[in-house]
Amino acid sequence: MRDEVDRLVEAWQRERADLDLRPMEVLSRVSRLGHHLDRARRSAFAAHGLESWEFDVLAALRRAGAPYQLSPGRLIRETLVTSGTMTNRVDRLATRGLVERLPDPNDRRGVLVRLTEAGRTTVDGALSGLLARERDLLGGLGPADQQQLASLLRDLVLPFEND
């Protein structure tokens, strides 16, 4: 079976036979897959009343383990956003009752952001929904192929994460 990338590469080969188009064959598919994944994730999160950024913050707190709290600085590092953006996000999540701010017992001027029970229930449901959708997306690949693909993608991503 042929996909859109096959057609694009074929057209470029016709127009620029002097170029090695192998990177395009891989990375254009990764890019297109990224768009499909974004849509699937937005849909999975919307089914639980969340936007993607809300899931990111709630998931960072949930992964932290009991008592499901982090400093704003740690949340910034976990979600790769600015301080101002994180303040706005925590405000919005607190208004919805999904997180709460608490004084940091180790820093009189600091605060901790803690996942509420409602936040925990919401993020747990959203994660289950997300994983179900992702399993469906990977349904055409067997376990060994999924593992091989994960390993190859890790090799591609690592240089960016080690900057």
Both 70 and 28 in one domain: the answer is no
- Output the pLDDT for position 107: 84
Query: What is the longest distance spanned by two Cα atoms in the chain?
Result: 67
For residue 163, name the pLDDT band (cuts at 50, 70, 90): low
Both 110 and 140 in one domain: the answer is yes
The backbone torsions φ and ψ at residue 81, rounded to the nearest 5 degrees and listed phi first, read: -125, 170
Q: What percent of the chain has pLDDT over 70?
A: 99
Residue 85, domain CATH? 1.10.10.10
What is the distance between the alpha carbons of residues 57 and 90, in angstroms, rounded to a whole number? 8
Domain, as residue range, for 89? 47-161
Q: At what angle do helices 72-79 and 52-63 cross, to 10 degrees?
A: 120
Both 41 and 115 in one domain: the answer is no
pTM of this prediction?
0.83
Both 97 and 37 in one domain: the answer is no
Number of structural domains the chain divides into = 2
Both 37 and 56 in one domain: the answer is no
CB 96 within 8 A of CB 10: no
Both 3 and 63 in one domain: the answer is no
Both 62 and 73 in one domain: the answer is yes
- pLDDT tens-digit readout, 135-160: 999 999 999 999 999 999 999 999 98
Both 89 and 141 in one domain: the answer is yes
Tallying the residues shown for the chain, one arrives at 163
Q: What is the mean pLDDT of the chain?
A: 94
- pLDDT tens-digit readout, 36-56: 999 999 999 999 999 999 999
What is the phi-psi region of residue 16: left when phi exceeds 0, alpha when psi lies from -120 to 50, beta otherwise? beta
Both 54 and 29 in one domain: the answer is no
Both 77 and 67 in one domain: the answer is yes
Asked if the model's pLDDT at residue 162 lies above 80, the reply is: no
Using a 10 angstrom Cβ sphere, with 0-12 exposed, 13-18 middle and 19 or more buried, the burial of residue 73 is: exposed
- Output the pLDDT for position 93: 98
